[in-house]
Each structure stands twice: as structure tokens, then as C-alpha cells.
Amino acid sequence: MASASGINQLLLKLDNLTLDSISDKYPTTHPEVNPYDLYRIHIGEVLAPIIGVAPEKIQPLIQWTNTIDKGDFVLPIPALRIKGAKPDALGAEWAAKFPEDDPLFDKPVAQGPFLSFFAKGAPLAQSLIPMIRELGAEYGCNRFLGLKDPKDPSKGKKRIVVEFSSPNIAKPFHAGHLRSTIIGSFLANLYEGAGWDVVRINYLGDWGKQYGLLALAYERYGDEVALKKDPIDHLFRLYVKINAEKDGELAEIEAKKKDGQDVTDLLANSLDEQARRYFRKMTDKDTEALALWKRFRDLSIVRYKATYARLNIKFDEYSGESQVTEEAMEKVAKEMTEKGITKEDQGAVLVDFTELIPGKEGKRLGKTVIRKRDGTALYLTRDIAELLGRYQKYGFDNMIYVVASQQDLHLQQLFKIIELLGYKDIAQRCQHINFGLVLGMSTRKGTVKFLDDILRDCADHMHDVMRKNENKYAQVEDPEGTADTLGISSVMTQDMSGKRGNNYTFDLAVMTSFEGDTGPYLQYAHTRLSSIKRRAHVSDEELANADLSLLTEPHAINVVRLLAQWPDVAQNTLRTLEPTTVVTYLFRLTHVISSSYDHLQVVGSEPALKAARMALYDASRIVVGNCMRLLGLSPLERLV
């Protein structure tokens, strides 16, 4: 952890608190990375003798506010459960008794059943700005949260596995995969910032009869040059072509069958049956069949990695359906039979939750087939074996599946079967993070939604927007690269702006605008802060020694108050697991910063005031950048 010099400035103003005493008395707080922890503790310590409640019981009840006009903190008086008086009267009494000369707060304000606290601007600014500039990229991270034992870091970190993205090889990277990619990467970043050991897994759809069909297509129409240039696109085109042939062939066979013709030989030699036989060769570990499949898979992963890199996304493991062995699935199937979880029904093997679990839960989970009549294991069998295998491999404390809400029932059934198998502890470590649909999404090439097509469309649209201002466009050093970053920012910000469970409409015109709450606006906000620093010509030494007591204007103090909220917002996001928690805060912050520019001129001010204001905007740049990177955005330093 970085030095706690910023927080030490606050502790000097308080007689009764030290970092060591806080650690003993309030073990879940960490003022050295979250200054507002100290503010909450101080409120509790001051109020305790006034209201006759232990400070340790007051501190956890103190909430931060979403709008700073209502204060920086609020205490809901009914939560203290004090009998014999109305909360309104208690609030007024406590506010009157609060010290006039408190070093950190003005007199609290009683507002009905709430007591609102407003932090004094000077001590907050003088401690927070140095802390942010010292912590840098670490400001907002609380790596204590990921420790198995915060009192003993030697016991190591908690581990979380995040499965996300998970496209199907040779099929379009559709909107659901895009949302999974954006949200999953955000959650992985979030837990990493909280000190967890994060394992990012991409569980590819890379197995099944369709690969037999794809192999047949490649034998007939494959182009080595096209495969190497863009394997995902080439394999998809082959897959579409062979599928059309297969469907046409099956329609012809069906027509002949209706005419009374013998179609036995036609069916036996149909593309569908050839694909089935080819896939059987793969499951029987035929060397040539597996070598071709592996080549398709490996080339596709190389292409995926290049695309993910544009989004600042990395994976620790490219897993997939193919990596789950027949032996592992057979072992799971046998265990389920022995424990009475499965039953046979007309040759198929299924789980009937209505018989296994009483009441509404059993009815809600219904029935699900594990193995078809022909002996083919379905996805659920594979997912059960994969989940147990992951626990054996990683020994995770938590595992998150970032999958669309259409799979709610599938994941509920998976976790319940794990529990019924006797692994309740493992089941309880698993969580499904779902999300809604993207509506109205198409590309200039048509309705095939490869991720590259989506990003290219956004970059092209952003480029068109940039060209409208010829003077500024002429000054852009790398217009294509800037347009690409802006396009990616627009896609990701729109996706994360609302609650993830909600559907949203993909609207290029709205999301690529510099007006309103968009990705390009966030990039503009960051580049403006970077531009001020370049134009001000204030050295790091001058910033470090700036007289921050000069920041007295309400606009300056309001920026500081919002900057102080960032560690709380990040920690709260671990509870909501909603990207919009961060996005909403970031837009509030950038709006307050933007509204301050006319009142806090840097260039042209006298040197001491210039250094103080520049230190404020430098801290603002750091926090805006930290928020953007957590969301997966790449903050631009300049647009022109």
C-alpha cells in the first residue's frame, strides 16, 4: 500500500484516533485507502457520548449520499432503535449538541428522521488531493477486501473465477456475447482492484456435430489463404454454405420420402449423417480429424485475442466444451444415477426436479434432459463436469458465470444439481450474473454480428462525426486510432449505462455523440483535464507543495467532495455488481468538474493559486482515468 501521508494530516486534527487504534476497533475500515472511513468513524466517536450508543454501532449505519446538496453523510436515526423519543426530535437534539468547532464537520442538519453531515472543505481538500496524487492508479482500490484474513496478509488472497464472453467458433459473435464480454471484463477488473486473485476464463463453444459439418465444408470449399487471413469469417462463411446445402438436401429427401421412394441410402450418405460420422471420429480421438479441428480452434483463438486486445481484455484460460472429457461426464452421470438424481424415460436420461424438490422450487426448475436417447450428452452434463473440474483445479472461493438472462433456468438447474450431488458448499460459491437483450443491432454488412464488424461500424461512425469539424480533424495525430478508441468507448459506455438486467436499443447516433452521457463525452472530459496539465506548465514539485488552503470556492470544494466518494463507490459496486454504479458516479463527477472550469481558471492565475487549482484538476484526472480503466475504457490524453 502507498504511504498514508494524506490521512495522517487528518489524524493530526483528531486527538483520540490513530491508524493502529482504528485497525483494532474498526477492523473492516481502511482509512489509508478510503478517507471517508475515517470520517464515518469520527462521526461515531463524537456522537457516542451525546446519544449513549457505542461508536462501533453508529459507524456502520452512516451512509454516503448520492447528491452532495444533501450532505456528505447521512445517519438514519431509526436504524439506531432508540426507544422513547421520535427520530425528528432526537435529530434536532443531537445536532444542537454536536461541537461547534469540530475539525472535520460543520454542524449537522436534522432533516426529519435523518441527520445530515457536511464535511468542511479545507481539511478534506488538504488531505485528499495529496492522497489521490500519491496513490495514483491505486486510488479507489481496496486490496484488503480480497485477503482471506485482512489481519494476516500472509494467508493469501481469495480467488474468484469469472467466465465470460464465450463465443461459438464459426458462428457470429452476437450481441449476447458482446454484453457478456463487456460486463465480465468489468467484474474481473472490479474484483482485481479489491485484491482478489482473479481467473478469467473464456469457455468457447468449440465442440459438437457442427464441427463435423464444418470439416466437410472445408474439404469441399476451404481456402487456405482466407483461413489464415480471417479464420472466424472464413469458417463462418463455410458453415453457412454447408448448412444451406444440408437443409436443401434434407428437404429433397423428405420430398422423395413423401412420394414413396426408398430414401435409406440417401439418408445414410447425407451431409447430416456424414457430419455425425465425422464428429464420432473426433470423439473417438481420430488423429486427422482432431488435428483439423484443433487448427480451426487455434486460429480462431489467435483472431479472438487480437480483437479482445482492442477492448483491453485478456483471459487466463481459453477453455471450452471440447476440454470436458467423456470420462469426466461418465463419472458425473454415474454419480447422479447412484444418488437417485436422474431417471430413465423412454431411453433418455433426465432430472425431474418436481420429484426431487418439494413445493414451488421443484415446479419452477421443472424437468431437464441430461442424455438423449442416442446416448449424446447434453450441455448440462458437460457443465456439471466442467464446474466440478474447475473447483478441483482452482479451489475458488467464488465463481461467476456472466451469461444472458435467457439462461437463468439452465444455471439454476446446474447449481441445484451440484447441490443435490452433495456439493452444497461448491454450489453456494457459484453465482450467475445475467443481463438483458440488445435491441436493434445490425451492421453495415448485414445482420451478421461479428465483434469486429460491430467495432468497425462504431469506429467508422465516430470517424464521420470527427470529420465534420475540418479544422480540429486536421490536428488529430492518429485519426483512425482515435476514432477506434472513441467507437469502443461509445459501445461499452452505452452497454454499461443502464442496469444490466434491462434491455437497451443499440443506437449509433446517440452513443457516438459528444453531447449527453456517452463514451465520447467521457473521453472528452479526460482529454480536457490532460490538456489543462499540459498547458499549465506546473511541475510535479510545485503540485506536491501547492498551498491547497487556497481552494476555498464552492466549485472547488464540490469537486473535492465527489473525488472523496470514489473508494466508497468502488466498494459499493462489489455489492451491486452493476457497471452502472460506476458509470452514474463518473458522469456526476465529470459534470461537476465541467461546471467548475469557468470559476477555477488555471492558466493566467497567480502562481500559488494556479498550482493549487492544477493539483485539484490533476487529482480529478487521476480519478476520472481510474474509473474509466475499471470500466475497461482506454482514457485518451488528447483528441487533437
294 catalytic? Reply is no
Which is the catalytic residue, given 177, 246, 461, 463? 177
Residues 201, 403: Cα–Cα separation, whole Å: 13
| Cβ atoms of residues 437 and 175 within 8 Å | yes
Contacts 24+ apart (CB under 8 A), 593-600: 593/525, 593/529, 593/559, 593/617, 593/620, 593/624, 594/525, 594/528, 595/555, 596/555, 596/556, 596/558, 596/559, 597/528, 599/553, 599/555, 599/556, 600/553, 600/555, 600/556
Q: Residue 142 in contact with residue 35, Cβ under 8 Å? A: no
Cβ burial 95-106 (10 Å sphere, 16+ → b, else e): beebeeebebbe
Is residue 174 annotated as a catalytic residue, yes or no?
A: yes
Catalytic residue, from 157, 174, 416, 461: name it: 174
Nearest in space to 234 (alpha carbons), one of 258, 209, 217, 247: 217
C-alpha span between 198 and 181 (Å, rounded) = 15
- Catalytic (active site) residue 367: no
H, E, C per residue of 416-444 = HHHHHCCCHHHHHCEEEECCCCEECCCEC
Helices assigned H by DSSP within 403-502: 408-420, 424-428, 451-467, 470-475, 479-497
Active site residue: 13, 70, 171, 555, which one?
A: 171
Is residue 633 classed as helix, strand or coil in its secondary structure? coil
* DSSP bridge partners of 60: none
Beta bridge partners of 157: 147
DSSP state of 93: H
Neighbouring CB atoms inside 10 A of 487's CB total: 27
The Cα 552–Cα 548 span in angstroms is: 9
Can you tell me whether residue 95 is helix, strand or coil?
helix
- Residues forming the active site: 171, 174, 177
